[in-house]
């Protein structure tokens, strides 16, 4: 399992909206996937609770690869799942 916490990228002067944190996950087994996704969501719940402004979106990019991110389109206190097309 590989886990990377994505840090916000420095914004250009014309854009003043901060990037929300995300975690990029790569798994080689189902056992790793379940534990890794649970841990990533738990980590972002702590971050989301500080501002109470957004929820969490878990996106499956392809088998074994997921992005778990805070997302303004998800209501606070909720976690949505998505599959990238």
Look at residue 38 and tell me if it is in a domain.
yes
pLDDT averaged over every residue in the chain: 83
pLDDT at 85 (0 to 100): 66
d(CA 41, CA 37): 6
pLDDT at residue number 16: 52
Q: What is the pLDDT of residues 57-80, one digit of tens each?
A: 999 999 999 999 999 999 999 999
Residue 8 has pLDDT above 90, yes or no: no
Residue-range definition of the domain harbouring residue 37: 21-83
Total domains in the fold of the chain: 1
Contacts of 27 (CB under 8 A, 6+ apart): 1, 33, 36, 64, 65, 66
Q: Is there a domain that residue 6 lies in?
A: no
* Mean pLDDT (whole number) for 36-47: 94
At 32, list the tokens. Answer: 């790793």
What global pTM score does this model have? 0.75
């Amino acid at each position: 399992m590989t886990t990377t916490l994505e840090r916000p990228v420095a914004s250009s002067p014309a854009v003043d909206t901060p990037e929300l944190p995300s975690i990029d996950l790569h798994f080689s087994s189902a056992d790793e996937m379940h534990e890794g996704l649970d841990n990533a969501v738990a980590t972002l719940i702590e971050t989301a609770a500080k501002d109470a402004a957004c929820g969490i979106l878990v996106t499956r990019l392809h088998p074994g690869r997921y992005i778990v991110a805070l997302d303004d389109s998800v209501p606070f206190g909720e976690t949505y799942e998505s599959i990238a097309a």
